[in-house]
Amino acid sequence: MKVLVTVMPKAGVLDPQGKAIGHALAGLGFGGLGEVRAGKVIELELAETDPARARQAAEEMARRLLANTVIESFRVEVL
């Protein structure tokens, strides 16, 4: 079963990568940008066949390794 874990900086946490991307986009002529935040997406292929158990396993992986829960939030999507 495929699972996506999306990890993003929490609101209020400095995001220098997002700021650099926003600045570069503005420099390329893309106007009308608000705040730009950069995160990561981790795609997992799990042997689990039960969607609820797959979600639970991915959430545990995110809490223990994939996200720094002090400064990042995450969401899990079972595909």
Domains of the chain (ranges; CATH) run 2-78 (3.30.1280.10)
Confidence of residue 60 (pLDDT cuts 50, 70, 90): very high
In tens, the pLDDT along 3-34 reads: 999 999 999 999 999 999 999 999 999 989 99
In tens, the pLDDT along 29-57 reads: 998 999 999 999 999 999 999 999 999 99
CA atoms of 73 and 39, how far apart (whole Å): 10
CA atoms of 2 and 7, how far apart (whole Å): 16
Nearest alpha-carbon partner for 41 in 68, 69, 74, 10: 74
Distances (CA, A) of 39 to 6, 26, 51, 78, 79: 7, 19, 24, 19, 20
Query: For position 45, what pLDDT does the model report?
Result: 98
